[in-house]
A and B are shown apart, each in its own frame.
Chain A
Amino acid sequence: MNQPVTVRAEGLSKHYVRGRNSDMTSVFDRWMKRPDQGFFAIKDVSFELRRGEVVGLIGRNGSGKSTLFKVLSRITTPSHGRAEIFGRCATMLEVGTGFHPDLTGRENISLSGQILGMRPHEIAKKLDSIIDFSGVGEFLDTPVKHYSSGMYVRLGFAVAAHLDADVLLVDEILAVGDQAFQQKCLQTIAGIGREDRTVVLVSHSMPNIVSVCDRALRLEGGHLVDFGPARDVVTAYSREVAGSIPYREWSADEAPGDAIARLRSVRVIDESENTHAVIKCHRAFWIEVTYTSTNTKRVPCPSFRMFNVDGHRIVAGICPMELVERRADGMFVARARVSCDVLDDGTYTLGICVSSFYPGREHVKADGVVGFGLSVVDHHGKPRERAVLQAITRIPVSWGSGSVQAMIA
């Protein structure tokens, strides 16, 4: 850790005035009423990052991650405090920054590259490598508006991956692109970090943070609440987020979803039909999804995905279509029985989807809606003594055993 400091934040705060508009009525309102107090998007954030490290930035939506990036990259100025970056800084808040749809891939490489801070001769030198990385090859001289979204994203990332900045700020852009490309991007980012530069990476994918980052920053409500080795920060974060609510309900207005299906409640219940922060489970527990459906043609099917504290998806299940009632309008409830034999004791979060098929369409996609602890118990309700296997799931495995002589004979 005797590498030089590349990013330093000292008491960084950014204050916003809520919903400020400049039309006549709101100007008048402000004049008549007491001024709005506003809020702090980030408040008193201080840290130092060094050369050669990849740092994850995690936190819930609205915790100030993007604001921190904008202040660090000088897109916006801090209200208080200082942000210093030593060396050249490049920001990737989106893929394909500065792309113009009417220009060709080749033209956009040069355009985007220079806006992001590359010198023309650097672009010329790296052009082949960028083209190669993006894999858009034969479409290089086609206007990017004709690109598929995947090609667009690949080209955008390819440019950004070749930025020669000392500090690279990467917002959650890896959520796009297919699995293979995401892996390639992650490896590139990790590689950049090793090349004596500093990378700060925002991601909601905890496995990605753990696998790529050395350290992690965690923001909550604009405050820096945790900063340390990535695995520790992620574990603490997942515990906290997950352990919170085993039950969630939405009003008709707030319900996530579209015109066809909306999610109304999610519940984790134990064998005696109760909901607790820690589910005591003898044989199985249930995941209950309540949703509304308003279309006669489509049959929405609920599904769940279960994540462990590392953010790995460990179990998933979808309600079979033939079990879903075909009556269109109304509120429906589906329950999935999950056997606890397959799970370690621990903390889990659930993501819920409601989709229909032929053609497939996702009506609801809600991640991390509920979280619960799981404690497997014997028939007296006492914690069952089991070795923690630290495998993703405990699928039933048959064993045979005996003395060696007996086996040979």
Chain B
Amino acid sequence: MDIRETFEQRGLIWIFAIKELSARYRQTLLGPLWFFLQPLLMTGVFTLIFSKMLGVSTGRAPAGLFYLSGLALWTYFSQVVTALGTGVRSHGALFRKVYFPRLTIMAAPLVSNAVQLVMHITTFFVVALLSGPAGVSSLTISPWAVPLLPLICVYVALMALGVGLVIAAMSIRFRDLHSLVTFLLQMWMFGTPIIWDTAPGGERWRFILDLNPMAWPIRAFRGLFLDTSMPTSREIIFGSMITILLIAVGIVLFRRAVRDGVDVL
């Protein structure tokens, strides 16, 4: 059975993750500084466009911290999904040359990108603490944060694995899926409470929050540290069900696609 084998050889997940990380920052000018630069640059652009130019409200939370927190889990999610979506292709040579539990290489981006996530969250606190009394006073750290934060992260990781595996399975047959995925991820981001808090259209758009399994973790994450809304239990239950379904479908589809698809890589 594939799952058991994957568990037995879970060491490979670390190996692939370390390989990816160490290879990513070789021959780069700023190296690991990118861990901090990437969220800061992104937040800067978001603050400029959405808050300053378009005047989108971020409620009682300062715009910078609002976006920085919203982007943390989303960046992780979209990077993992992208990595998994192109993973089968970029590791095609390896797939054709040696057998190992294929799920290990697919699970590796969950680990390697977690480093970025931790750095992103660190950046969030550093920025909050450095941005003077206004920043510090806007932090409303809930006592629930300590047990809940890891749970939320694990949820997002599983969610990303599910979505990524479905895309990976389909990308074996259809090479141009990648362009579509980039576009869909962008759409998905706008449908996720990253630049907005509660749906701007009021009740009429509530279904977006219910049906989007990425909505509640982002709201929960932000709500734990900033004075913003928390997700409803309905959102959490709906989202979790969708995630469980995605994981199951993802694993089944991926196993089938790799079994039949290694010859067309």
Contacts and interface: CB of A to CB of B under 8 A. Distances in A.
Given A100-B19, A103-B23, A115-B12, A16 B263 contact: yes
B22 A116 contact: no
Contact of B98 (A91, A102, A143): A91
Interface in B80-120: 94-100
B26 interface: yes
Interface string B254-265: 000001101110
Contact of B97 (A89, A94, A117): A94
A75 B98 contact: yes
Interface string A107-135: 10011001111011000000000000000
A111 B98 contact: no
Interface residues of A, number: 28
Interface string B1-34: 0000000000110010001001100110000000
B15 A143 contact: no
B206 interface: no
A22 B173 contact: yes
A202 to B, nearest CB: 14
B174 interface: yes
Contacts of A100: 19, 23
A91 B94 contact: no
B156 to A, nearest CB: 28
A97 B22 contact: no
A244 interface: no
Nearest to A76: B262
Contacts of A89: 99
B264 to A, nearest CB: 7
A74 interface: yes
Contacts of B262: 75-76
Interface string A141-156: 0010000000000000
Interface string B171-190: 00111000000000000000
A98 interface: yes
A20 interface: yes
Contacts of B27: 102
A77 interface: yes
Between B12, B19, B173, the greatest number of chain A beta carbons within 10 A of the residue's beta carbon is seen for: B19
What DSSP secondary structure best describes chain A's contact surface? loop
A72 to B, nearest CB: 10
Contacts of A114: 11-12, 15
Interface in A71-97: 73-77, 89, 91, 93-94, 97
Given A74-B99, A120-B11, A102 B94 contact: no
Interface in A179-234: none
A104 to B, nearest CB: 10
A74 B255 CA distance: 13
A44 to B, nearest CB: 19
Given A100-B19, A100-B23, A111-B19, A75 B96 contact: yes
A102 B11 contact: no
A202 B175 CA distance: 33
B146 to A, nearest CB: 33
B45 to A, nearest CB: 30
A116 B23 contact: no
Interface of A: 16, 20, 22, 70, 73-77, 89, 91, 93-94, 97-98, 100, 102-103, 107, 110-111, 114-117, 119-120, 143
Given A73-B98, A107-B22, A111-B15, 9 more contacts: A76-B259, A76-B263, A97-B94, A102-B22, A102-B23, A103-B23, A107-B19, A114-B15, A115-B94
17 contacts: A20-B264, A22-B175, A73-B98, A76-B262, A91-B99, A97-B97, A97-B98, A98-B98, A100-B19, A102-B27, A103-B26, A107-B19, A114-B11, A114-B12, A114-B15, A115-B94, A119-B11
Interface of B: 11-12, 15, 19, 22-23, 26-27, 94-100, 173-175, 259-260, 262-264
